[in-house]
Amino acid sequence: MTKRKHEENGNGTEENGNNGSKKNKTDSLEGGEGSKAAKQLHLTAFMRPVSLHTGAWRYPGAYPDANFNLTHLKSFIQKLEAAKFDAFFMADHLAVLNMPVEALKRSHTVTSFEPFTLLSALSQVTERIGLAATASTTYDEPYHIARRFASLDHISGGRAAWNIVTTGNPESAKNFGQDEHMQHSDRYKRAREFYDVVTGLWDSFADDAFVRDQKSGTYLDPEKMHVLNHKGDELSVRGPLNIARPVQGWPVIVQAGQSDPGRQLAAETAECVFCSPKNLDAAKELYADIKGRAEAAGRDRSSLKILPAAMIIVGDTVEDAQSKRLKVDSLVHYDSAISSLSIALGTDASEFDPDGQLPTNLPETNASKTSRAGVIKLAETEKLTVRQLASRYGGYAGLCLLGTPESIADTMEEWLKEGACDGFTCVMPFLPQGLDDVTQRLVPELQRRGLFRNDYEGTTLREHLGLARPKNQFFE
């Protein structure tokens, strides 16, 4: 397995102002009282063109055609860049038929631009913001993935990130010549090896391999080219990659798994972790667990940033924000609400009594186990009926930070200081208004408190995130 080597971080963006190894550090809070500069939040936007919230396309002012209208996407990313966001993330899925037709009919989330083409286009209308594409390790080839991210990184001047997913949706298999979705544990096994191959391919050429000496006619130095010759359990890839080493060395690695193998993959590979903890305690547990696993894997705690995903709803008052949430939730049709619940459970929920409790004899699932367990827990804790659960899952089921700019900033500050996160992955409840509320109302409040940057300091995504540029594992 690839052993990560990190270069000295020369740009002073490590949060605790300490460039050396932090192996001896026992305090779980980075940038605590002893640090030179106060720790700041990292903010990314986790996007689908119309929003991740299923009712959003019907919200007043929404752009229901944003899935295929680049103009809207350009304005979103430009606003996020003006607000100095670390990155713009594109969610991605590989199948349409993961819900009954009655729900599909309501869905604005299954069809949209493909991430690499979209982010490459958006790289030309922005200058600093990071560009994170979701790509599957289950249904793609490492040579293609390595190459495309390297190319996006070159094209954008060092702003690419890879959101590694193993693809939860079992319907995807049928679009790629397979009858059955690969088992959860096999998907994670392949993902881990896939990561080794991709990062190995990124290191195919030393940074100074391309000599381009017109006089002697030497274009590249073959001594500075590494042939990977990977032959593993799942993959066999010779290399080298047909592209120079990415500007960032490696594009930033992002990972979202929450199950045990998901957390382990994050701990071993990720530099940015999305996750979806339900509350502060769960976030602290997850934070400590993943950072602990990373340390156990020989990594520095500060080499991965944990950014819980949260839908953010800003109002003039808490009640105003609550009523916005009620409004957008009310726009989710029951047909899709119930099917979202089915997906979350990995079981068809349309047969259940809408006004009864969730049955206790639910079957196991090969889709996301974390998700299924989450539904069961929520139903128990809040004693929700199937209908109530469905409208929660039909809209956006994850963490929601809701209130005034000040109250949301209070919560974010608390999470940061309590060691529950290094920032947030912001989910917009509806667009463009929900995004404007975040960039124009919440961000200035965070900046006023010194919790968020007033301007970018570097040019690459690694620099925004305070991550070192990885050393080439095959060359000094």
Residue among 9, 54, 156, 276 that touches ligand FMN (CB under 6 A): 276
Query: Contacts with a second copy in 327-356 (CB under 8 A)?
Result: 331, 333
Judged by CB under 6 A, how many residues of this single chain contact ligand FMN?
Answer: 22
Q: Does 358 bind ligand FMN (CB under 6 A)?
A: no
Judged by CB under 8 A, how many residues of this single chain contact a second copy?
Answer: 74
Cα–Cα distance, 267 to 289 (Å, whole number)? 9
Query: Contacts with ligand FMN in 30-59 (CB under 6 A)?
Result: 46
**Which residues make Cβ contacts (< 8 Å) with residue 240, sequence separation at least 6?**
201, 204, 205, 225, 226, 227, 228
Comparing CB distances to a second copy, the nearer of 43 and 90 is 90
Reported residue count of the chain is 476
Least separation in angstroms between CB 228 and a second copy: 9
Least separation in angstroms between CB 107 and ligand FMN: 15
Query: Contacts with ligand FMN in 221-260 (CB under 6 A)?
Result: 256-259
Strand partners, 136: 165
Least separation in angstroms between CB 325 and ligand FMN: 18
Query: Contacts with ligand FMN in 402-441 (CB under 6 A)?
Result: 425
**Which residues make Cβ contacts (< 8 Å) with residue 242, sequence separation at least 6?**
147
Read off the DSSP letter of residue 249: S
CA of 245: how far to CAs of 119, 229, 317, 331, in Å?
19, 17, 50, 47
Residue 50 near residue 57 (C-beta atoms within 8 A):
yes
Helices and strands (DSSP H and E) totals, the chain: 15, 13
Phi and psi angles of residue 24, each rounded to the nearest 5 degrees, phi first: -85, -5
Residue among 76, 85, 143, 194 that touches a second copy (CB under 8 A): 143
Q: Under DSSP, is residue 79 helix (H, G, I), strand (E, B) or coil?
A: helix
**First CA to last CA across the chain, in angstroms?**
19
Least separation in angstroms between CB 258 and ligand FMN: 5
Show the tokens assigned to 228: 């990977």
46 binds, among a second copy, ligand FMN, none (CB under 5 to 8 A by kind): ligand FMN
Show the tokens assigned to 417: 């200081």
The stretch among 37-45, 146-154, 227-235, 269-277 that binds ligand FMN (CB under 6 A) is 269-277
Query: Contacts with ligand FMN in 176-215 (CB under 6 A)?
Result: none
Least separation in angstroms between CB 47 and a second copy: 15
Around 468, how many Cα atoms within 13 Å sit in the side-chain half-sphere?
Answer: 20
Phi and psi angles of residue 431, each rounded to the nearest 5 degrees, phi first: -130, 150
For the four alpha carbons of 329, 334, 335 and 337, in that order, the dihedral sign comes to positive
Comparing CB distances to ligand FMN, the nearer of 206 and 266 is 266
Cα-trace Rg, the chain: 22
Q: Under DSSP, is residue 274 helix (H, G, I), strand (E, B) or coil?
A: strand
Comparing CB distances to a second copy, the nearer of 167 and 303 is 167
Show the tokens assigned to 287: 């934070």
Comparing CB distances to a second copy, the nearer of 63 and 424 is 63
CA nearest 286: which of 274, 277, 296, 295? Answer: 277
Query: Contacts with a second copy in 390-449 (CB under 8 A)?
Result: none
One-letter amino acid for residue 417 of the chain = K
183 binds, among ligand FMN, a second copy, none (CB under 5 to 8 A by kind): none
Per-residue x/- track, 83-102, a second copy (CB under 8 A): ----------xxxxx---x-
Comparing CB distances to a second copy, the nearer of 226 and 299 is 226
Site of tokens 């929700």: 384
Cα–Cα distance, 257 to 431 (Å, whole number)? 26
Query: Contacts with a second copy in 196-255 (CB under 8 A)?
Result: 204-205, 210, 212, 214, 217-222, 225, 227, 235-244
Cα–Cα distance, 249 to 472 (Å, whole number)? 7
Least separation in angstroms between CB 320 and ligand FMN: 26
Residue among 47, 56, 66, 91 that touches ligand FMN (CB under 6 A): 91
460 binds, among a second copy, ligand FMN, none (CB under 5 to 8 A by kind): none
Query: Contacts with a second copy in 171-200 (CB under 8 A)?
Result: 171, 174-177
Query: Contacts with a second copy in 38-77 (CB under 8 A)?
Result: 57-58, 62, 64-65, 67-68, 70
CA of 227: how far to CAs of 197, 206, 237, in Å?
11, 12, 10
Comparing CB distances to a second copy, the nearer of 3 and 212 is 212
Comparing CB distances to a second copy, the nearer of 219 and 319 is 219
Strands 272-275 and 160-165: unpaired
Q: Does 283 bind ligand FMN (CB under 6 A)?
A: no
276 binds, among ligand FMN, a second copy, none (CB under 5 to 8 A by kind): ligand FMN
The stretch among 163-171, 246-254, 354-362, 459-467 that binds ligand FMN (CB under 6 A) is 163-171
Least separation in angstroms between CB 69 and a second copy: 9
CA of 26: how far to CAs of 32, 159, 219, 261, 292, in Å?
12, 32, 49, 25, 10
Q: Give ∠ CA 29-6-235 in degrees, rounded to 5.
A: 110
Residue numbers at the binding site for ligand FMN (CB under 6 A): 46, 91-93, 134, 165-168, 256-259, 262, 274-276, 309, 368-370, 425
